[in-house]
Amino acid sequence: MGWPSHAPVLRDLTFSIAPGAHVGLVGPNGAGKTSLFHTIAGVLPAQAGAVLVQGRAVVPGQFRPETALVFQQAEDQLFCPTLIEDICFGPRNLGLSDAEIRARADDALALCGLTGLEDRPVHHLSGGEKRRACIAGALVMRPELMLLDEPSAALDMRQRRRLIALLQGIGQALLIASHDLELVLELCPRVIVIDQGRMCADGPAREVLGDAQLMAAHGQEVPHSLTPHDSAGHVHVKNAP
Ligand SMILES: Nc1ncnc2c1ncn2[C@@H]1O[C@H](COP(=O)(O)OP(=O)(O)O)[C@@H](O)[C@H]1O
Ligand SMILES: [Mg+2]
């Protein structure tokens, strides 16, 4: 896949995600994580190969409510004057009744801790609220797969913890692109590493993220919680098995 007038960005990438699985997507800046999300979501065309969601090929531009992309920049996603209008925008395209749209919106807002902010202009939400508003806007579609692009970027510790708790409770499949490897470890039993648009690893999170050589080769560090420590102080044990 590639951007218009740009060399191909993604190559030799094959993987599948089971229903309800939470998978981390790790790779340095420019690795192709966002491009991959745009390809899966049908925003960018694949020049070769195919993306299947629930067994059906994704056709660029075609509305596929089974997949929901949560943008890295909340401002790229939220565009209606008020929160409730933003949350209801997607479901209106599903042809649901007003009552069903409102019921879904109320559920999504409650799950994301945004009840009471319905009439707030989106630009008056805090960073953490904006991030949760983006997730609510995805959840309201009741997707099978949610693609989250750097969801913890620029969140403070409390908001980050709140985000983790929220995502932990989500039953749908999640593909989470993040440099926050501790978040990935908490949420994702499986991790995929990509670099220069290619697949570098796909396996159990602790194995993949704990592989110092692999991490270093792709501009990452083994997360602190996987670094062996001595018991007395806070000394990192070198060359521990
Ligand atoms: N809108 C765009 N137009 C052209 N090239 C782009 C665009 N967005 C990203 N790219 C290129 O695609 C490659 C992968 O970038 P990206 O998918 O944003 O990586 P990541 O999300 O892993 O940081 C980079 O070489 C980048 O320059
Ligand atoms: Mg990106």
Residue 198: is its pLDDT beyond 80?
yes
Task: Confirm or reject: Cβ of 3 under 6 Å from ligand 1.
Answer: yes
pTM, entire model: 0.94
Nearest residue by C-alpha to atom 2 in ligand 1: 3
Q: Where are the alpha helices (DSSP H) in 20-95?
A: 33-40, 74-77, 83-92
User: Which residues line ion ligand 2, judged by CB < 5 Å?
Assistant: 33-34
Nearest residue by C-alpha to atom 1 in ligand 1: 3
**Tens digit of pLDDT for each residue in 61-73?**
888 999 999 999 9
Which residue ranges make up each domain of the chain?
Answer: 1-66+145-162+171-241, 69-142
Q: What is the pLDDT of residue 239?
A: 67
**Tens digit of pLDDT for each residue in 152-181?**
999 999 999 999 999 999 999 999 999 999
Ligand 1, residue 29: give the atom nearest the CA. 23
DSSP label at residue 121 = B
Residue 241: is its pLDDT beyond 70?
no
Which of 192, 146, 141 lies closest to 169, judged by CA?
146
SS3 191: strand
The domain 1-66+145-162+171-241 having CATH identifier 1.20.1290.10: the answer here is: no
Task: Confirm or reject: Cβ of 6 under 6 Å from ligand 1.
Answer: yes
Give 176's contacts (C-beta < 8 A, 6+ positions apart).
Answer: 22, 23, 24, 25, 148, 151, 167, 183, 184, 187, 188
Q: How many angstroms is it from 90 CA to the middle of ligand 2?
A: 23
Q: For a ligand 1 pocket test, name from 10, 33, 34 the mutation site with the most ligand atoms within 8 angstroms of its C-beta.
A: 34
Q: For a ligand 1 pocket test, name from 5, 9, 38, 178 the mutation site with the most ligand atoms within 8 angstroms of its C-beta.
A: 9
How many Å apart are CA 235 and CA 185, to the nearest integer?
22
